[in-house]
Amino acid sequence: MDDRSPADRYLTAAVALLERVRDEEAAAVAAAGSAIADTVAAGGRLFAFGAGHSSLPAQDTVYRAGGLAVMNLLTVPGMTGVDVRPATLGSALERVEGLAATVLDASPAAAGDLLFVISLSGRNTLPVELAGHARALGLTVIGVTSVAYAAETTPRNASGTFLKDHCDIVLDNKIAVGDAELTADGVAAPFAPASTVVTSALMQAVMATAATALADRGVEPPLLRSGNVDGGTEWNARVIEENAGRIFWH
């Protein structure tokens, strides 16, 4: 019997997942960081998309102190977070065929840009079609997903494929199918999801890699500072002005 507290058990599980990502995804993280550096150095723009809770790690990279100013959120109405009512509508929209192409074609994303597509299961129509259409348009696509879903579940889209099948680079967050780290006597369902914690950390590891890769090439990374430190607002105003053509959140 495990006598540890639920908090101890959860945090231990989260740390173990982070260590797996560190040890097993190092090459993919390096490749993703290099791809971002290539895009930024060439004047391209960065975009990130995630549906529902998978949007949280995407949002965490946009307009972020210590983050790249040229990272933009690719939004789909009703699917960014859980603010839509009913919340189940977001899940339903993720299964609508053709929506991904419509959204991408209406966005400023273009050939030479880079797109993160974040989807834990990677099995639904929207992330699969979004990644495929983005690559067809000439974008570099980095998928962030749990590869375990491709081995243990069935696709839920017309192509019969998963997100990982349509990406230039795949980052595996190692989350088990079901996204719940704990069980307990008297609790009917598994609980304590870790996908947001691990995926956000994975995204920030890639951003850190990209920033240093740019510096190694003699290119100043277009980083934002906290507006709550002296000089931060002025610094950010300069970075935003210098990169105005690549920023769509301002």
The pLDDT, as a whole number, for residue 162 is 97
Query: Reduced to 3 states, what is the DSSP secondary structure of residue 52?
Result: strand
Contact 110, 138 (CB under 8 A): yes
What token pair was written down for 92? 């339903």
Going from the C-alpha of 188 to that of each of 175, 180, 191, 202, 224, the distances in angstroms are 20, 12, 9, 31, 45
What is the SS3 string spanning 70-97? CEEECCCCCCECCCCCCCHHHHHHCCCC
| pTM for this predicted structure | 0.95
Q: At what angle do helices 99-106 and 125-136 cross, to 10 degrees?
A: 50
Q: At what angle do helices 26-41 and 195-216 cross, to 10 degrees?
A: 50
Q: How far apart are CA 163 and CA 157, in angstroms?
A: 10
The pLDDT, as a whole number, for residue 81 is 67
Contact 36, 114 (CB under 8 A): yes
The pLDDT, as a whole number, for residue 48 is 98
Nearest CA to 157 out of 215, 98, 90, 201 is that of 98
Contact 49, 116 (CB under 8 A): yes
Query: Reduced to 3 states, what is the DSSP secondary structure of residue 155?
Result: coil
121: which DSSP letter?
Answer: S
Q: What ranges make up the beta strands (E) of 74-213?
A: 114-118, 140-145, 169-172
pLDDT tens, N- to C-terminus, the chain (250 residues)? 688 999 999 999 999 999 999 999 999 999 999 999 999 999 999 999 998 899 999 999 999 999 999 999 998 887 776 677 887 887 888 888 889 999 999 999 999 999 999 999 999 999 999 999 999 999 999 999 999 999 999 999 989 999 999 999 999 999 999 999 999 999 999 999 999 999 999 999 999 999 999 999 999 999 999 999 999 999 999 999 999 999 999 9
Query: Reduced to 3 states, what is the DSSP secondary structure of residue 223?
Result: strand
Instruction: Reply yes or no: is the peptide bond before residue 127 cis, omega within 30 of 0.
Output: no
The pLDDT, as a whole number, for residue 132 is 97
DSSP string, 155-183: -BSTT---GGGG-SEEEE--PPTT---B-
Query: Looking at this protein, which amino acid is placed at residue 97?
Result: E
